[in-house]
Amino acid sequence: MNAAQRQFTAYGPSYWSAIAVFVIVAVVLVWLGRRQTERQARVLGRVLGGVTAAIYVAMLVYTWIPPTLQRSVPLRLTDLATVAGAYAFWSQRQWAFELTYYWGLTLSAQALISPVLKSPDFPHHEFLAFWSIHLLVVWAAIYLCWGRGMRPTWRSYRFAVVVTATWAAVTMAFNGIAGTNYGFLNAKPATASLLDVMGPWPVYVLTASALVLVVWALMTWPWESRRQ
pLDDT tens figures, 157-199: 999 999 999 999 999 999 999 999 998 898 887 766 677 778 8
User: Is there a contact between 124 and 63 (Cβ–Cβ < 8 Å)?
Assistant: no
Produce one character per residue of 102-121: b if its CB has 16 or more CB atoms within 10 Å, e if not: bbbbbbbbbbeebbbbeebb
- Which stretch of 14-18, 32-36, 57-61, 112-116 has the lowest confidence by average pLDDT? 112-116
Vertex 113 angle, CA 109 and 119, to 5° = 100
pLDDT in tens, 31-55: 999 999 999 999 999 999 999 999 9
Chain centre to alpha carbon of residue 149? 20
DSSP letter at 111 equals H
Closest CA to 219 of 76, 87, 84, 104: 104
User: Is there a contact between 167 and 102 (Cβ–Cβ < 8 Å)?
Assistant: no
- pLDDT for the residue numbered 198: 81
Whether omega for the bond prior to residue 66 falls within 30 degrees of 0, making it cis, is yes
DSSP letter at 8 equals P
Q: What percent of the chain has pLDDT over 90?
A: 69
Query: How many residues does the structure list for the chain?
Result: 228
Confidence category of residue 90, pLDDT binned at 50, 70, 90: very high
User: Is there a contact between 89 and 29 (Cβ–Cβ < 8 Å)?
Assistant: no
Vertex 209 angle, CA 86 and 177, to 5° = 80
**12 Cβ partners below 8 Å, 6+ apart?**
121
DSSP-assigned states of every residue in 141-167: HHIIIIIT-----HHHHHHHHHHHHHH
> Is the pLDDT confidence value at 4 over 50?
no
Full-model pTM: 0.90
